[in-house]
Amino acid sequence: MSAEKTNQSWGGRFSEPVDAFVARFTASVDFDKRLYRHDIMGSIAHATMLEQAGVLSIAERDAIIDGLTQIQAEIEAGQFDWRVDLEDVHMNIEARLTDRIGITGKKLHTGRSRNDQVATDIRLWLRDEIDVIIKEITRLQEGLLEQAEQHADVIMPGFTHLQTAQPVSFGHHLLAWFEMLSRDHERLVDCRKRVNRMPLGSAALAGTTYPIQREITCRLLGFEAIGGNSLDGVSDRDFAIEFCAAASLAMMHLSRFSEELVLWTSAQFNFIELPDRFCTGSSIMPQKKNPDVPELVRGKSGRVFGALTGLLTLMKGQPLAYNKDNQEDKEPLFDAADTLRDSLRAFADMVPALKPRVEVMREAARRGFSTATDLADYLVRKGLPFRDCHEIVGHAVKYGVATGKDLAEMSLDELRQFSDQIGDDVFAVLTLEGSVNARDHIGGTAPAQVRAAVARGKALLAAR
């Protein structure tokens, strides 16, 4: 038998070293080394538990913890030599620990497997990422509330089918995104509960014969619960899939928001101005100011959707328990978390700096007969059936199209040719202010309701 081994953690079974290409192909250290802090955290907790369970002596525990602490410092100083032949973050750190403290370093792996170790690391890492992401959601929501409060009285056209529908408050429009982000926040907070369950102690798949005390490591690592089945603990990645699903919904919301910002900054709409620091120019057309941040966020949504689809596909055919397929869980998960976090950060920085072009928005709201529904409602209050009112206003709009007049620009005589129920008081409901102020109920676009919604939003964020 050859004395040459590819990996000291399992090479005893093999009579020849792993092919050099296969070693590179199967290694994960190039991407899973970002788990180093959580791997070390889990190992320190595991060593602490092993000592309390009587498996390690106090001196052995202290040597392991001191060695791991020094290794973390090496990594963070950029002085750690990551080796592909050691396959992954776990074996790189364990091998370096053994180099530092000798045979005691080899005792650290007692009572665990890389299977439950990596599942634990990913959960610890994702838990921290969710905490950062929900803070960015809150920061973006704060910016939306600030803008909505400042621009509660600014009127813009509301759209359906991208056609002018009814006038709304700009603040009210922004608060729609606040509501969507609130649900994104709720989903991620709820997802975190299922992420925060500890698989450590599952070992390879069946548990361990050593007298481990999982309650100790659970408490030390801040998990809310201990995984109840060792097979499930090492093999499922549904928590990662759930995160990618929540991240996909959040990115879908940001993508829709991006689409509106792209439209609104165009010369055809000209509703808002983005500061130069969030835009770029053209190498050939000097007049261009491109909304690159929202465009890029809109595009990046596809990465996160892809991560979700990839993880679902990864898991769907696997038998219990752990399979090498699961090495492919990390890169899409890492990318999804990075993309969502960075997209939220960009929006949280950008939204407070948006500047609405108030007069342009107002003029756009005056076009397209946006108060037609208000005229129909006015006639209903005069006692006419709504369907008749709908037809009457339809004729009035047709007349307006032919004459180039908005409803509010028509004289009383012109309006009365469609119904003798129309009186002088009609002009109060045909104004843009009259239209938005009339929708004065919870969830409505009236400026008073916008300010009330802002107050509720601030209370919600303060309670987090």
Of the candidates 161, 283, 411, 441, the residue annotated as catalytic is: 161
CB-neighbour burial class of residue 145 (10 A; exposed 0-12, middle 13-18, buried 19+): buried
Cβ 65 vs Cβ 44: under 8 Å: yes
The residues pairing with 272 across neighbouring beta strands, listed in sequence order, are: 356
Structure tokens at 446: 């009236």
Residues in the chain: 464
The residues pairing with 169 across neighbouring beta strands, listed in sequence order, are: 155
User: For the chain, what is the largest distance between any 2 Cα atoms, rounded to a whole number of angstroms?
Assistant: 105
The residues pairing with 226 across neighbouring beta strands, listed in sequence order, are: 198
Of the candidates 57, 266, 282, 395, the residue annotated as catalytic is: 282
Q: Is 109 a catalytic residue?
A: no
* C-alpha closest to that of 56 among 9, 103, 121, 124: 103
Structure tokens at 63: 């040597």
Cβ 147 vs Cβ 171: under 8 Å: yes
Q: Is 161 a catalytic residue?
A: yes
Cβ 309 vs Cβ 11: under 8 Å: no
The residues pairing with 346 across neighbouring beta strands, listed in sequence order, are: none
Q: Is it true that the peptide bond before 364 is cis, omega within 30 degrees of 0?
A: no
- The single residue listed with the structure tokens 């089918």 is 161
Torsion angle in degrees (nearest 10) through CA of 181, 185, 190, 195 = 120
* C-alpha closest to that of 316 among 305, 326, 331: 326
Residues acting as catalytic residues: 161, 282
